Structure 1
Amino acid sequence: MREQRRATEAQAATQGAAGRGGVPLTGMAALQRRAGNAAATHWVQRQAGALNEHYATRPTEHPEWATYQELTKAAGIPQADADAAWQLLLGGVDSQGALNDEAAAKTSDRQEQREIRATNTWYQEFVKLMTQHLEIKTPTMALWAGGIEVNDYAYEQGHTPLARTRIGSVLNVLEMHPDWKLTGPMWSILSKAFVSLATGPVHIFVRAYSPDSILIRLEVPELQRVQRLNPNVKLIWHPLYTGPDGRTREISKDCQLVDNAEYDKRDTCVGALIQYLRLFHDESNEKAAPAHKSMEQLLAANGHKDGV
């Protein structure tokens, strides 16, 4: 009963803040309906810790609130959905720390820790609410790895990555919280939901390869699951290299930089990328330095020394 009273008081505070800002927010009651009473109670309990710079009880005071309003309006997201999503996001940020602590206490297995961190009910409900705003604007979906420039390259090639969807374009320019450990799980949940919407060919652009990337450990396995249910979903891989002039091109099977190079297998794509980085990477090319470093680390992890 005491927790319920505290939840009611938090609801009144949230609605009051919204009224002063002139924007009708959904309040704790709506969050309880969307995220469940248990999650709402857990959120209230987190407030007792007086965590700094958490805005779940004062949503309109978040530094990005005005920007969020402008972006969601420009993206065509209805205000009611946007307001509900904002409070779910803030509730997710506020509750993620406890889940991170729980994951660290329960297991040392990294994948098991990720799974626990991804049980954030606030983020899950946020993604359910925003799924309709994950529609792609082009005939084909894009996934990528190797830096945000690859996201832009994929879009320029005529494909839609997550960050170019309505809600993705909003989140991509916001900073909900400076600690990635509190916001990263939201992106993982959102990425999985995005991939699950694939209905046709998906183009995958790889400038740097890491087995531990979201692309490889989360998005591609989910895409393969979708592919088993829908044979129209095909994975088309593109290895990329960025020259010192900043121009990104694709790597052909004979190690040439071309405008388009498609592979039907991950391993052949990655093989072409590694081969090019080993043979042709210029050490003075800072644009490709992160990709070259990833390649060296991958080879070392697989028992190769000095590029052999």
Structure 2
Amino acid sequence: MQDRKQDVSTGQRQSGERRRPALPEHGAAAGVAAHLPEVMSSAEVMALQRSAGNAAVARRLAVRRPAAAGAGPVRAVQRRKPSANAPTEHYADKAQDHPEWPVFQNLMKTGGFPSDVIDSAWQLLLGGVGEQDRLNQESADPSLGPDERRAHRASNSWYRELVNLVGDHLRISTPTMALWSGGFDVSVYAHAKGHTSLEFTRLGKVVDQLELHADWKLQAPLWNVLSRAFVERATGPVHVFLRAYNPDSVLIAQEIPQLRIIQRLNPAVTLRWHPLYTTPDGAIKEISQDLRLTDDAAYSSRDKCVSVMYHYLLRFHDEKNGKAAMAYGEMNELLAKNVNPKAETK
């Protein structure tokens, strides 16, 4: 997953009376503010779609939505961002006009999904994009505190309903699950080592090939929902691959705490940590306890893994190595706190 930055919104409360946006309740039918009665909830869409079909859904969703206001940074799982050609419309009220509908339909059919599930999943995806625009705009209300803003942006019931519909297809196809941080090629590396990361699940493979919308802030919460559902399905060893360590990332702030809860219920869920470094030729290697690059180096402790990675970067990172520059740069602030002489010259 690309590096996932924590939401650090710092909006101040303002004096005087301000109307707060209605915060959605949890659950599949939640997610639509009471002051927007013309907007359907995800559960209502599903019910209408079953009874009257997609045309009726499109008519009900034909509501003009305002452009998204700046809602601050979004803490999100690491993804490849949309290209310059990504759609700029929501398409919630005309889902099958979205340019990626044929791609999605073909990928889902190839994956063995039935037609009614394909239609429903697509409507939930695009309805979720439109809903996220609304949530992001409402969360910009200065009367909300940072935690309230994050909670509101994360309350997209359309994305949760998508998981309710097809979440079983987030199960892993190998004996071991993989989580990762430091660039998408780390996920590819983990897959080559025989582990299954989110984007190599049956559902993840499909969503990973879509752009959906040009505004990444409308998609990041989708990947957070998928990530949470993925982690909740852990039943055995989980391998965590780190090329950089960010304590505020979704991996560390969201996924690992979830796994700790699951571990208390299922002792078979164990964590194995892999510190990584990319060599000048682009090869990803693991860092052994004696600070050598090797093909396999796993630790049962996160702190030990991070310590090994720190020490390797401090002692052996060559700033001419552009392949490792991004990971080194992201950790540079933390390295500076450890009196890194290289960092002091930045």
Q: Check if 1:81 corresponds to 2:117.
A: yes
Amino acid at match of 1:101: Q
Tell me, yes or no, if structure 1 residue 262 matches structure 2 residue 298. yes
Query: How far apart, in 1, do the equivalents of 2:140 and 2:212 lie?
Result: 23
Q: Where do residues 38-57 of structure 1 align in structure 2 (5 Å cutoff)?
A: 47-49=64-66, 53-57=89-93
Q: Deviations over 1:251-286 (max 9, x none)?
A: 011101111111111111111111111111111111
> Equivalents in 2 of 1:260, 1:250: separation in Å?
6
Correspondence for 2:144: 107
Amino acid at match of 1:132: D
Match of 1:244 in 2: 280
Take 2:227 and 2:307, find their aligned partners in 1: how far apart are those partners? 25
Between 1:151-160 and 1:278-287, the stretch displaced more is 278-287
1:118 Cα offset (Å): 1.3
Instruction: State the distance in 2 between where 1:200 and 1:152 align.
Output: 20
Does residue 227 (structure 1) correspond to residue 263 (structure 2)? The answer is yes
Q: % of aligned pairs identical?
A: 49
Instruction: Say if 1:138 and 1:160, in contact at 8 Å, map to a contact too.
Output: yes
1:215 alignment counterpart: 251
CA gap 1:285/1:44 in 2 versus in 1, 3 angstroms = same
**TM-aligned CA deviation for residue 74 of structure 1:** 2.0
- Could you tell me which residue of structure 2 aligns to residue 161 of structure 1? 197
| 1:115 Cα offset (Å) | 2.4
Tell me which amino acid in the other structure corresponds to 1:77. Answer: F
- Give 1:54 shift: 1.4
Q: Counterpart of 1:277?
A: 313
Aligned-pair RMSD on alpha carbons?
2.7
2:335 counterpart residue number: 299
SS at match of 1:204: strand
Contact 2:314 2:340 (C-alpha < 8 Å) held by counterparts = no
Q: Which has the higher helix share?
A: 1
Q: CA deviation at 1:181?
A: 0.6
Per-residue Cα deviation, 1:11-30 (whole angstroms, up to 9, x for no partner): 9xx98xxxxxxxx964556x
CA deviation profile, 1:48-93 (whole Å, cap 9, x unmatched): 5488611011111111111111111222222221210110010110
**Which protein has greater RCO, CA pairs closer than 8 Å, 6+ apart?**
2
Q: What amino acid does structure 1 have at the position aligned with 2:185?
A: E
Does the aligned pair in 2 maintain the 1:25–1:84 contact within 8 Å? no
Alpha carbons of 1:125 and 1:6: their partners in 2 closer, same or farther (altered >3 Å)? closer
2:175 alignment partner in structure 1: 139
Q: Check whether the contact 2:310–2:335 (CA below 8 A) recurs between aligned residues.
A: no
1:193 to 225, 229, 245: 229
Separation (CA, whole Å) in 2 of partners of 1:288 and 1:272: 16
State yes or no: 1:172 paired with 2:208.
yes
Match of 2:94 among 51, 58, 72: 58
Matched-pair contact (CA < 8 Å) for 1:97–1:182: yes
Cα distance in structure 2, aligned partners of 1:6 and 1:269: 48
Give the aligned residue type for 2:177.
M
Inter-partner Cα distance in structure 2 for 1:234 and 1:268: 16
Paired residues, number:
280
| Helix, strand or coil at the partner of 1:236 | strand
Q: Which runs of 5+ in 1 are unaligned?
A: 16-23, 32-39
The verdict on how the C-alpha distance between 1:98 and 1:153 changes in structure 2, with shifts beyond 3 A counting, is: same
**Which residue, out of 122, 126, 131, partners 1:95?**
131
Q: 1:44 to 1:305 in 2, by over 3 A?
A: farther
Query: CA offset at residue 98 of structure 1?
Result: 1.9
Question: SS of 1:177's equivalent?
Answer: coil
Distance in structure 1 (CA, Å) of the matches to 2:233 and 2:98 = 31
Contact 2:67–2:133 (Cα < 8 Å) also in 1: no
CA contact (8 A) 1:77 1:166 kept: no
Does the CA contact (< 8 Å) of 2:95 and 2:101 recur in 1? yes
Contact 1:204 1:235 (C-alpha < 8 Å) held by counterparts:
yes
Look up the match of 1:119. 155
